[in-house]
Amino acid sequence: MGRNVGIALSFVAALAIGASSLPDIGLPIDGLTLANVRDSFSEVHSGHPHEAIDIMAPKGTPVHAVVSGSIRKLFLSKPGGNTIYEFDDTGVYCYYYAHLDRYAEGLREGMRVDRGSVIAYVGSTGNADPGAPHLHLAMFELGSEKLWWKGTAVNPYPALVAAMKKAK
């Protein structure tokens, strides 16, 4: 019985350590540098918490999956325009890509994608300023229900900064 308790405590400790570390993501747009990105997570946009970062880029710039996972939802919304919800392979995080000009050819719900795969192209759909195309990137920690529209917002900026440093 003592051995099982020890194993259980080790497992819980490993989960706690893993949960506190940054997710290992790739770059959503090739060639990003710290000068291209700023932390806008805590800003208020249109009266609502932004809870994302905006990465300015020319319309039509390829957008890459930041992790390997599955496309859970392709969705057209008034605020986000053309959007993608991608779950990571572990089902812990959901990545939300918005204001997309268009999806990559053949992209569909349920499809598995590898980190770095082109999934879409930068645009200014939804409520984005047509003169300021950008990628709106958000990250959510999923709850036990694993619902694409529900989760706890996590600031993607620190993980993106780590990815930029790693890419050098």
pLDDT digits (tens, 9 = 90+) for 84-126: 999 999 999 999 999 999 999 999 999 999 999 999 999 999 9
Supply 142's token pair: 């999923």
What amino acid is encoded at 59 in this protein? Answer: K
User: Which residue segments constitute the domains of the chain, with CATH numbers given?
Assistant: 2-167 (2.70.70.10)
Q: Which of 1-5, 114-118, 146-150 has the lowest mean pLDDT?
A: 1-5
**What's the distance, Cα to Cα, between the start and end of the chain in Å?**
49
If phi > 0 it is left, if psi is from -120 to 50 it is alpha, else beta; for residue 156 that is: alpha
The residues that bridge with 43 in the sheet, in sequence order, are none
pLDDT digits (tens, 9 = 90+) for 120-142: 999 999 999 999 999 999 999 99
Of 37, 26, 66, 21, the C-alpha closest to 157 is 37
143 or 101, which is more confident: 101
Task: Kindly report the three-state secondary structure assignment for every residue of 38-78.
Answer: CCCCCCEECCEECCCEEEECCCCCEEECCCCEEEEEEEEEC
Taking the model in full, what pTM does it have? Answer: 0.85
Which strand (E) or helix (H) includes residue 115?
none
